[in-house]
Each structure stands twice: as structure tokens, then as C-alpha cells.
């Protein structure tokens, strides 16, 4: 990954010299290395501020999700994809029992009505 980030067009041999120089600079402080890399390649973005909905009420869009809808979405998940940042695999989500799907549906509806992901 470091080689690609430094210069994806160079050969491995050409990339070794800057990588060695780069890692020597941070030899004593690996935490600073990770912080600097994170600041360069994964900058923090300002949180999104969403405007409140000002249109007419739409009962079809405002209704709660039903367990059957959640179950249908879970069934369509690709089980070969890698887990997301939460570490939960799609394979695990597809194999939820009925009680867990009901609980998940309740949680999704709570987030939907209250806003956020509390």
C-alpha cells in the first residue's frame, strides 16, 4: 500500500529508496507515522448538516419499515463482499433469525423516526 501511495508508476526497486527514507524518519514514533498518513490520505471531513424537510407530508415515505422489507433486503446481500467498518459480514446478516430481524427492524425504525443512529 505504501509503495502505491508513494508513486504507482515506479517499479518496486525505485520505490524502495523513498520508502526506507520515509520509514527511517518515523522509526522512533510509529504513532506519529500513522497520524500523518491518516491526515494525508484520510482527511477528516466536516459533518454533513442536512436541512429539515419542508415539503408536504407523504405517508408512504414516512411509514415505518416492516420486517418483511428488511428480510428481503438482507436476502439480497452479497455474501462474498468484505465486512464493513463495523466488522459485521453480510453472511451473518443474511443468517439472522426472526427475532433478530424484528429487533433490527425496530432499531432501523427508531433511527428513521428520531434521526441519527443512536
Query: Domain map of the chain by residue range?
Result: 2-41, 59-114
**CB neighbour class for 70 (10 Å; exposed up to 12, middle 13-18, buried from 19):** buried
* pLDDT tens-place string over residues 34-86: 888 787 777 777 777 878 878 888 888 889 999 999 999 999 999 888 888 88
* CA triple 100-101-105, angle to 5 deg: 115
d(CA 19, CA 24): 8
Tell me if 64 sits within 8 A of 73, measured CB to CB. no
Judged by average pLDDT, the poorest of 82-86, 97-101, 112-116 is 112-116
d(CA 93, CA 86): 12
Q: Inform me whether the pLDDT recorded for 23 exceeds 60.
A: yes
pTM: 0.52
Look up residue 118 and give its three cell numbers.
Answer: 443512536
Amino acid at each position: 500500500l505504501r509503495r502505491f501511495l508513494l508513486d504507482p508508476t515506479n517499479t518496486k526497486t525505485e520505490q524502495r529508496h523513498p520508502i526506507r527514507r520515509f520509514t527511517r524518519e518515523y522509526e522512533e514514533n510509529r504513532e506519529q507515522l500513522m497520524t500523518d498518513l491518516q491526515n494525508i490520505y484520510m482527511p477528516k471531513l466536516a459533518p454533513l448538516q442536512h436541512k429539515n424537510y419542508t415539503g408536504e407530508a407523504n405517508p408512504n415515505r414516512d411509514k415505518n419499515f416492516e420486517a418483511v422489507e428488511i428480510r428481503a433486503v438482507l436476502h439480497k446481500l452479497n455474501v462474498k463482499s468484505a465486512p464493513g467498518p463495523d466488522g459485521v459480514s453480510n453472511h451473518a446478516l443474511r443468517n439472522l433469525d426472526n427475532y433478530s430481524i424484528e429487533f433490527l427492524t425496530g432499531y432501523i425504525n427508531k433511527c428513521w423516526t428520531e434521526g441519527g443512529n443512536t
